[in-house]
Structure 1
Amino acid sequence: MDSRAAVATAEALSVSFAELASALRDGTGSGCSGEADPMRRVADGFLDGLAEISRLDAKSAALKAWLAAVYADTAGALAGPATSPEDNTGQEMAVVAEVACALTVSERAAGGLLAEAHALTTALPLTLSALQAGTISWQHARIMVDETLNLDRPAAAALEAHFLDPHAVNPARGFAGGLIPGRFRHKARTWRERHHPVSIEKRHTRSAADRRVEYAPDRDGMAWLSAYLPADQAAGIWNRATSAARALQGPAEDRNLSQLRADTVATWLLGGTGDQADTDGGRVDAGVPSPRAQVLITVPVLSLLGVTDEPAMLDGYGPIPPSMARRLVADGAESFHRVLIDPRDGAPLEIGRTSYRLTKAQRQWLRLRDGKCPFPGCSNHSLDNEADHILAWAHGGTTGISNLGQPCHKHHRLRHTSGWTPKAATLNEPPGWTSPTGRHYQSEHPDWEPPHWPLQ
């Protein structure tokens, strides 16, 4: 497929969507004839429309993957041969960042798309063809990429053929597109484990090196904490937490099993006594200890005093209930910094120096201004980031807040190993970025709001 064919395909997809929408509005869908009941004809037409949209989504995903793969190849050719491993890494990071900004997705998502697109266009021809034909979904294609990861070419081709080639030796019963993605993954993984050329012992040893804990903020003062562990450890933790939670159940206990399990694990990890005291209204106010870590928290003074219910801001997370903030201030946070905010708009007041080295107050101010790494789409928490002069000190740049950013290590490295450059910041807004292609991308701006005053 060349660029003209890609444009033609995109136009055909657009026409297909438009024609389908028009047919459904007019009641002339493929299932809208031959039935005596008009309401049944309409219902069948919409159901057929859903199925057709699914096929069009698959075809669109195939085109998107092809475009991503060809862009990556073209960008690599334009950049020329890398002169060092660091230069090669910088080129790859620049491509990922460009795709992420163009699609308004995270770099993790963009990197995943590029990796999946590369696998589909270079090693999985049957999968790409099925996706282009609309007979499997994008979820099915991603599962095929995932389950053939780290397989050599013959093993990957055998797995793909088993599910997508009806003429293969001992093909799978039924077509992959007829299975919901979860069931297809189960079947693909089972076949992979049985036919993998490397023993599961060796693969487990390698995979265990990737064990990690991940943290993702959620709504309403909550967050997800997940761990990628060896299966026996994960199962053991789950079973032990479940047993401990069940032991706490009784007539006087109003928490359900899920709540008890969560409180038990939180108590273990935070070094509590394990007594699992009662909760108030579903909130864990006792029993589970407060975090003992460096905490930067901005809380309106009236909310801290309990006069208003305005949320506080927890660095690296976002809005939290004032009761949580009061608890952190009272007994949880070993390092609590009160922050002066402008009563007109709620933005913190600047603290500045003219020396090269940043003061502790300036670093805290950058954390407050940006909240995270200022690169578009990055969500790396500000506590892990590195202060950086936008205009280099050696080139006349000052150490004022308006000339400072706090990119994470990855994007600090990107700035110095590729054509990505940060642009001007302000006292209250983080710097934007310009890509090697000349496109300008804005950083995410924190939404400062003026403090609430209690009703008289």
Structure 2
Amino acid sequence: MHSNGGLGGGMGSDADVDALAALVADAEGVSDAARAVQIREVRVLAAAGVLAEKQAAGSSERVKAREMALRGIAAELAGVFVATDRTLQRRIDEARDLVENYPVTMAAWEDGRIVRGHVRVIQEVGCLVPVEERAEFERLAIEKCEGETPNRVREAVRMLAERINPRTFTERHEDAAAGRCVQVQPGPDGMSDLIATLPTVIADGIVDRLTRQAREIINARAQADAAGESAAGSEVDSEAESAEGDGSSFVDDARTIDQVRADVFSDLLLAGTPALDPTGTGDGNGTLGAIRAHVQVAVSALTLMGQDEGPADLAGRSPIDAATARELAGNATSWDRLLTHPVTGTVLECDSYRPTAGMVRLLRARDRHCRFPGCRQPAIRCELDHTIAASDGGATHVCNLANLCKRHHDVKHHTRWHIRQLAGGRLVWTSPTGRTYREDAAPPLVAFTVAAPPGPGVPPF
């Protein structure tokens, strides 16, 4: 666990803070002006689509006439926007869909309650919702978007749409999974993109395992470098000194984590094992092969018991189908049982069917991701931080701990950002210019309450 050891360097003077405050004020003005221009552009493009429809009215070949009219208008506007007519035609269709089918979203955008990114999320996901349910979906989605960044709410909005859709997520997932495939898209300079279309939980697990293996390799590299420096500084005979000086005792490896991940991925697919395993000793196998993927899934008791086919939540990233969630639960060596607040959904208590580090599990379940505003780094890759430093008397207790990724843990330590933790895991961040950002503990996207007591022989959850 880590604690905030006090204010660090690099924070700047009061004059710097005043200059930053002036920049923030300018940024607010720019943001408001940009929003107004974006909205005006959408309405102009939507009007272009209506004009094309009007021009085609009464034609015997209305579909073709509308297409030709739309192409002509798009070509005209393409010169203004300095874009291709195909791009403008697509943007016209998107703008008209937004204006005509998402009026609640447009109104919230014009009022400054949401930003362009939120609008895109709602429009992209809204196609899953029946027309008669669209207004209610918009209302609930906007509530989720307010005060959150678009990337943070994307999966919450998607989960909302999935639950409103009359066809179960499991049914749709089975159809989609039939299209799984691997394809190569050639790129420049002798490179290509290898694209695997897979169920989300498998894709996320693959990336997690590659990341864990890459970090193991990088950690071993650091240890080898340290050992090499230590050996170079010691007194040895000339023959040993020569053997060590040529770098034969360890490999000179300066690859980034992305490069290591790509290399391990290639080795595993081509040969079944990494070509270089710096964690191995002598002729023995290293630890890379033993590393397994970890995924964090929230699934309701009703889904586990087969009484609900609603989607489960993959660490706030994406919904997964009920059948996959049940399979993961059956293969899990341990799992957590959560008690959530019946109204807010905030995680109140967590226990496990096997003794574990309960506090860590509770905080992972409560936080789900880094608790800095807007960050989505999963909690399983974060560090536990004392809100009030242990050196300042802060308790090692859930009411004084929160998950922060390495980047934002450093921000808390070494800049003028401050943090307070309130009841229920709510964090209040204060920026160097005095602006405050509230970070509520996100309720799981999956409901953990039941409508009625379980029947005989059914364990309570």
Between 1 and 2, higher relative CO (CA 8 Å, sep ≥ 6) is seen in 2
Q: Which has the higher strand share?
A: 2
- For the aligned pair, the TM-score class normalised by the smaller chain equals 0.3 to 0.5
TM-score (norm 2): 0.41
